[in-house]
Amino acid sequence: MVVLLGDKCAEYGGQVDVEAHIETCSGILWRELEHSGDEILQLVIQCAEELPHKSTLYATLVGLLNLEDEEFGRKVVDTSHAKLQDALDSENCHKIRILMRFITVLMCSNVIPPSSVIEVFETLLSSATTTVDEERGNLAWQARADFYIFCILGCLPWGGLELAERVPDDLDRVMTEIEAYLSIRKHIFEPAFLPFETPADDNKDGGQDFLEDLWERIKLLCEDGWKVDSVPRPHLAFESRLVTGKSYEFRPVTCPEQPDQPSPSSDVMIGRQRHEAELKYPQRIQRLHIFPVSRTEENMKPIDRFVVEEYLLDIMLYLNGCRKQCAAYMASLPVTFRYEYLMAETIFSQLLLLPNPPFKGCYYALVIIDLCKALPGAFPTVVAGAVRSLFDRVNDLDLECQARLILWLSQHLSNFQFIWQWEEWLHVLDLPRWSPQRVFVQEVLQREVRLSYWEKIMQSIQKAPGLEELLPPKDGSCFKYADQKGDQSEGVEFSLSKELNNLVKDKKTSREILSWVEENIIAVHGHNVAIDVVVQTLLHIGSKSFSHLFTVLERYGNIISKLGSGQSNEILVIEETSKIFQNNTQMAAIAIDRMMVYRIVSNLSIVTWVFSPSNVEQFHTSDRPWEILRNALDKTYNRISDLRKGVISVEKSVQKAIEAKAKAQADLDSAEALLEAAESEELQGQMAVKLKRLKAAVERTKQEESSEQESLEAKDALLSRALSENEVLFITLYRCFSDALMKHSSVDLTEKQEDVLGTDQREQMSIDSEEPSAMDADDDERRNQRFSKSNGLHSQAEQQWCRCTLGQLRALTRKYATEIWPHIDKIDAEVFTGDIHPSIVKAVYSALRRPV
């Protein structure tokens, strides 16, 4: 009944009368307090933390129970204080925000005095103001300061009215201090973290940031008398009773000490600290503005949008393991206005949040599916409208966001029989191959084929038959040594392939096959032919299904590994893999990924192959090379993460072993002292037996400690090696990007970069070119001449290629910033010096939030 408080359910007779629910629940709990007080306390606190959209209901429930049992009320306040202090110390931003709101609504129910709430606000305000002070603070940690202010402002829709009535002067003082803070903090404008690229005619300040926007909404709320329609106020129904209850002082809390400024101060050290702060206190939402404001904020006040967003984000956060219940709560918020458009926009804002969404994309897909089923008359239409709006703006959508949207849409349509108004997108056939809209439709269709089968997707687009040219070829395997009918043809290499195929069918061991390869192929035809024949034949055998592929690589992967020894040979292996699966991107990506798992090929070889000329030409027309590159980087990142977890686990084991050894030694010392003091022979005999056992225990704990220490040293060595390899990987990656961008086109990069960074960011993050000649009048004239031809199709294709390549550079840097920062000094020294173009540096620096 506590969990279902305020819900329409059988436990409450199927009625939704919040006041009656609270009255009924408080009566039942009051009778149980004497026997199960601690359990009830923990349950109520947990519900307030994990169902924060009902925090006002639980605060009122606590207020009524406080009237009957003052000890229970005091325990709730003490527990909330302990949890808030622990959250501040551990920098758990979600718990800080939720507990701040809970103590505010407890104040509304007269469980906590308003002066205590004001004191908490001022503690956070003081810490935030100190952080952004240029003399005493550390500006790299502004993210934490902004978060503290956000928490204070976020509490006011729930408790601003009571604070204004009971402590108006204190509230005015807090508001004045917040305004003072906003006047000295640095405005946040980071185009590299916006889902849509900033238009060139935008103001330099990029409009209001998230904190400034909330402040404007709170000021309007204050002018409106702190009345919020979207926040239930059940305590008003019991106000005459609650005012007679006892309030309990909420003891002061302390904020963590701000980290010291880096010494010596440098842009790298400041950037590392800022990155750490952004990881701990990330921005919660980046509004997409998919729909007009007249739809998303229809019949609601400005503050209602913030409150509804908080409801939706909290529900998705805490009910991520119960998606049906999550959708049910999202569809039945305690508000009187329609909010389907705002709900869709909020979900897509999370799906496309940069640098990373809180959850995997499939979670948001499931939530949207369940909402479509829960609200069949309204939500599917809204989702379709969101897709159309995003598709219309896909040219300006960040490339990583495009990839997420493609994955989501293909998964979503697969749950609704792939039904879509494809004829609306027929016009993409008239666009160039590199057009973002055409590529978007192409990638969605290819992803759908992966989730179903070719004929099914072909049937789904029968009303738009022209789109079939965007589907992948029906035959996914391109076996080099087979004729058009699929039978193997004649010729030396064909015969070798056939013979190898027979050896596999006869279940010869990998050692026997390798000997045959060395004698019959390498010795006669050379190493490259051996790689060609072996890779093509084995992968053709495994091309029937994923399980066939995995079995072939498990059994005969060592043959390919021996042939592919060395980076140049590994690249040949990858190239042959790509050729045989040139019509099946999924199989190519999985095969190369599995080869990396089995250490047949290295991540360096994959990176080098991705930037080969044949792949470079596809950078703006296909996601194929980027998918393979992302898989390689993800696999590398996961390996390092697993090694870090292993090191942490062994460190804990070492600490336990040290403690066990110390305890065993202490027991031994105590036993030796007792043996010396023993007077009778019987007692001495007993102590001698015990002493022998304790000595054995000490030796055993020493061996365990030694074993754990050796294990720790081994894992540390593996981690150090992996980090060194990671450094080489990113240096190679950035070199490849730089070489490709510098060599691919004669069109000036700065012109192309207009599509990626925008004029405002170029001015804000300008870097002097290393070559003074770039500023000469002659070069300017030539650049203008080139730009005047940019309306030509070829020039537009070149610009789109550069936009895509720079966009992927920025996206990969943004995604793996945590792994890049430890190596940034080496990367700077070996890559970002000399003749590298400033636009490349800007793309990387902006993705790292690095000061320039």
Residue 572 pLDDT > 90, yes or no? yes
Q: Which residue has the higher pLDDT, 686 or 533?
A: 533
Contacts of 512 (CB under 8 A, 6+ apart): 503
Determine phi and psi for 397, rounding to 5 degrees: -80, 135
Residue 311 predicted with pLDDT over 90: yes
289 dihedral zone (left: phi>0; alpha: psi -120 to 50; beta): left
Q: How far is CA 14 from CA 2, 20, 232, in A?
A: 15, 12, 20
pLDDT band at 754 (very low <50, low <70, confident <90, very high): very low
- Residue 226: is its pLDDT beyond 70? yes
Residue 484 pLDDT more than 60?
Answer: no
- Mean pLDDT value of segment 677-693: 75
Question: Tokens at residue 81, please?
Answer: 């204080």
- DSSP codes, 131-196: HT-TTTS-GGGHHHHHHHHHHHHHHHHHHHHHHHHH-HHHHHHHHHHHHHHHHHSPPP--GGG-SB
Q: What is the pLDDT of residue 206?
A: 52
Region 317-332 average pLDDT: 92
Higher pLDDT, 772 or 313: 313
pLDDT at 83 over 80: yes
Q: What is the pLDDT of residues 450-459, one digit of tens each?
A: 999 999 999 9
Cβ-Cβ contacts under 8 Å for 35 (sequence gap 6 or more): none
Nearest alpha carbon to residue 419 among 459, 386, 371: 459
- Ordered domains of the chain (ranges, CATH): 2-217+226-248 (1.25.40.180), 293-464 (1.25.40.180), 492-635 (1.25.40.180)
Q: What's the pLDDT tens digit per position in 233-288?
A: 999 999 999 999 999 999 999 999 988 887 777 888 889 999 999 999 999 999 99
In percent, how much of the chain has pLDDT > 90? 72
Q: pLDDT tens across 783-841, in order?
A: 344 333 444 556 888 889 999 999 999 999 999 999 999 999 999 999 988 788 888 99
Residue 771, pLDDT > 80, answer: no
Mean of pLDDT values over 144-148: 96
Average the pLDDT over 765-776 and give the result: 36
Please, which residues have CB within 8 angstroms of residue 604's CB and are 6 or more apart in sequence?
567, 728, 729, 732
CA distance 762 to 840: 12
Least confident piece of the model among 113-122, 218-227, 645-654, 671-680: 671-680
State mean pLDDT over 23-37. 89
Peptide bond into 355 cis (omega under 30): yes
Q: How many CB atoms lie within 10 A of CB 359?
A: 15
The predicted structure's pLDDT at residue 716: 94
Average model confidence (pLDDT) for the chain?
Answer: 88
pLDDT at 687 over 50: yes
Check whether 186 has a pLDDT greater than 50.
yes
Region of residue 133 (phi > 0: left; psi between -120 and 50: alpha; otherwise: beta): beta
Q: What is the pLDDT of residues 649-662, one digit of tens each?
A: 999 999 999 999 99
CA distance 88 to 82: 10
Model pLDDT for residues 433-448, shown as the tens digit of each residue: 999 999 999 999 999 9
Can you tell me the distance from the alpha carbon of 577 to that of 569, in angstroms, rounded to the nearest whole number? Answer: 12
pLDDT reported for residue 792: 53
**Looking at the predicted structure, is the pLDDT value of residue 352 above 90?**
yes
Contact 691, 675 (CB under 8 A): yes
pLDDT at 565: 87
> Cα-atom radius of gyration of the chain, to the nearest Å?
32
CA atoms 487, 493, 497, 503: torsion sign = positive
Higher pLDDT, 719 or 770: 719
Model confidence pLDDT, tens digit, residues 536-560: 999 999 998 999 999 999 999 999 9
Q: What average pLDDT score do residues 350-357 get?
A: 95
Q: What percent of the chain has pLDDT over 70?
A: 91
pLDDT at position 753: 41
How far apart (Å, rounded) are the C-alpha atoms in residues 179 and 215? 8
Token pair, residue 42, equals: 């923990």
Q: Rounded to whole angstroms, how far apart are CA atoms 726 and 823?
A: 9
Burial-class residue 169 by CB neighbours within 10 Å (0-12, 13-18, 19+).
Answer: exposed
Separation CA 640–CA 715 (nearest Å): 11
* pLDDT value at 123 more than 80: yes
What ranges make up the beta strands (E) of 372-483? Answer: none
Determine the average pLDDT of the residues in 317-338: 92
Distances in Å between the alpha carbon of 543 and those of 451, 536, 575, 597, 793? Answer: 17, 10, 16, 18, 39
Q: Out of 115-119, 322-326, 688-692, which region has the weakest mean confidence (pLDDT)?
A: 688-692
- Would you say 735 and 742 are in contact if contact means Cβ atoms under 8 Å apart? no
pTM of this prediction? 0.89
Q: Which two tokens stand for residue 391?
A: 């598709």
The reported pLDDT for the residue numbered 266 is: 82
Q: What is the mean pLDDT of residues 752-756?
A: 41
Considering only CA atoms, which of 233, 304, 346, 226 is closest in space to residue 6?
Answer: 233
Tens digits of residue pLDDT in 288-304: 999 998 888 888 999 99
Measured distance CA(712)–CA(695) in Å, rounded: 26
Give the separation between CA 346 and CA 208, rounded to whole angstroms. 18
- Give me the pLDDT at residue 789, please: 41
pLDDT at 756: 39
- Residue 679: pLDDT band by 50, 70, 90 thresholds? low
pLDDT at 777: 41
Looking at the chain, the number of H-run helices and the number of E-run strands are 37, 0
Give me the pLDDT at residue 234, please.
Answer: 93
CA dihedral of residues 759, 764, 765, 766 (deg, nearest 10):
70
Task: Give CA–CA dist 44/56, Å, rounded.
Answer: 12
Does 489 score more than 60 pLDDT?
no
Note the pLDDT of residue 490: 59
Q: Give the model confidence (pLDDT) of 124-143 as tens digits.
A: 999 999 999 988 889 999 99
Instruction: Give the pLDDT score at 605.
Output: 96
* Tokens 């809970």, located at residue: 102
Q: What was the pLDDT predicted at 835?
A: 80
pLDDT (mean) for 641-651: 94
